[in-house]
Structure 1
Amino acid sequence: MGNLQNSYRYERKYKLNVSEYEILVHDMLSEGMKVHHPTRFINNIYFDSLNFDAYFENVEGESERNKYRLRWYGDRFNTIRPIFEVKMKKDQVNKKLSLKIPEIEFRSFNDVENVSNHILNYMEGEESTLFFEMMNKIPTLLNGYKRDYFLSKDGETRLTIDRNLFFYNCRNNQEYNQSEIMVVEVKYASNVTPKINFDKFKLVLGKNSKYVSGIDYTKLK
């Protein structure tokens, strides 16, 4: 069985111009935040129905919805050791189911279908519930970005900064690089009041789904 996050948490997302990166990091460190993990590259493949149900549920603001993705770290094209994740959103909070997938070669975008079949074959034997959920889903978007990790002084709140955003549409092979925008995420348990100086950091709450943005950036006009 996959690893299920026991409790819901808030995941607040904010969009800033990348020109504000140095100032933001300086302000966070001056407020007592610390680096929580070395900077690393993150890659994801998102899965959706043929009708893009997950995309439209997000756009329309459905209060309960799931997001399905495969995640790995480091080089995009490599022998990858991915983790399959189901992000479960309920109103304003989220929790996550994670499942480690056996390693597989991912050498080019042409390997997306092979990776998808690899996941299904593994789930069929190990995670039958997820297997049936994934049977009607296809890979729709690959994205990648560089992530910095920070932790609040009290250790209760995580903040990440994502830059150098890349998107590849698995359906039409369109690519898009977004180097002007960075996405900041603030994550904390549902019973925690974050001790974050939102005003000083210029964080204004908004909808900033990388999946929705990626589909919008790469859809054919």
Structure 2
Amino acid sequence: MSFRLEEKIKLHISDLNKVRSHLQFINAKELYPKRKISSIYFDNKFFEMYRDSEEGCVPRKKVRIRHYPEEKNPSKNLETKITSVEGKFKVNKKISSDLNNYYFKNGIFVQQYGNCDPVIKVSYTREYLILKNCRFTIDYDIKYEGITFNKIFNDNETLVLELKSSSDIISNLNLFSDFIPMQRVRYTKYCEGINLLYNKPHQQRIYI
């Protein structure tokens, strides 16, 4: 099992060109072309995945079905992200349209959480870059949609810079701290979407 370290930095869309320029300056290279991502997130009736993520509990899981809508023949992928004290890892499984429809109708059984139903859809644009052993992603144009009710929230102001590495991520994070004011916070699009669509109070966790 291969764990990785991750760090998310929540910025403003006005920082986009500055982030791109700095990544170019440090010689980060494009890993994949920019693309749209769409994910359906699942949770149980008590929203325990949301709660565990907001409270920073470990171990915890996040389950979603992801696809890339701009692809010619977009496939669906069932992804389970697991966070433990050692780090994070992801289990990815391609699923058929029939199985996708079954999960959407009947839910998914998840060990630790029981039966989980689709709760929100999150869509956004992502750019990918890589430098040595660290992958950088830049997310923006984020859209949150309710599944069982008609509510949509378009977030055109947030920019999310994420770093993923199998080694010391702090040294990579320091590449940005000198030129962009930033706070290390616990941030996930799933929790942000639940907070916005279900009118839940935000519980921002700041790292010192």
What interval of TM-score do these two structures reach, taking the shorter chain for normalisation? Answer: 0.7 to 0.9
1:199 aligns with 2:184: no
> Which of 18, 26, 31 pairs up with 2:21?
26
Whether contact under 8 Å (2:109, 2:115) holds in the other structure is no
Q: Which runs of 4+ in 1 moved over 2 A?
A: 118-121, 130-135, 190-196, 200-204
Whether contact under 8 Å (1:116, 1:139) holds in the other structure is no
Cα distance change of structure 1 residues 116 and 68 upon mapping to structure 2, 3 Å threshold: farther
Report the Cα offset of residue 35 of structure 1.
1.1
Number of residues of Structure 1 aligned to a counterpart in Structure 2 = 197
Match of 1:173 in 2: 150
Report the Cα offset of residue 116 of structure 1.
4.7
Whether contact under 8 Å (1:80, 1:103) holds in the other structure is no
> Which of 148, 156, 159 pairs up with 2:133?
156
Whether contact under 8 Å (1:156, 1:194) holds in the other structure is no
Match of 1:45 in 2: 40
Q: Secondary structure at the match of 1:22?
A: helix
Whether contact under 8 Å (1:188, 1:194) holds in the other structure is no
Match of 1:82 in 2: 76
Cα distance change of structure 1 residues 208 and 220 upon mapping to structure 2, 3 Å threshold: closer
1:95 aligns with 2:89: yes
> Which of 147, 150, 160 pairs up with 2:126?
147
1:189 aligns with 2:166: yes
TM-score (normalizing by structure 2): 0.84
Unaligned segments of structure 2, at least 5 residues? 201-208
1:210 aligns with 2:189: yes
Q: Secondary structure at the match of 2:83?
A: strand
Cα distance change of structure 1 residues 116 and 89 upon mapping to structure 2, 3 Å threshold: farther
TM-score (normalizing by structure 1): 0.79
Cα distance change of structure 1 residues 7 and 190 upon mapping to structure 2, 3 Å threshold: farther
Whether contact under 8 Å (2:13, 2:159) holds in the other structure is yes
Supply the RMSD in Å over aligned alpha carbons: 2.7
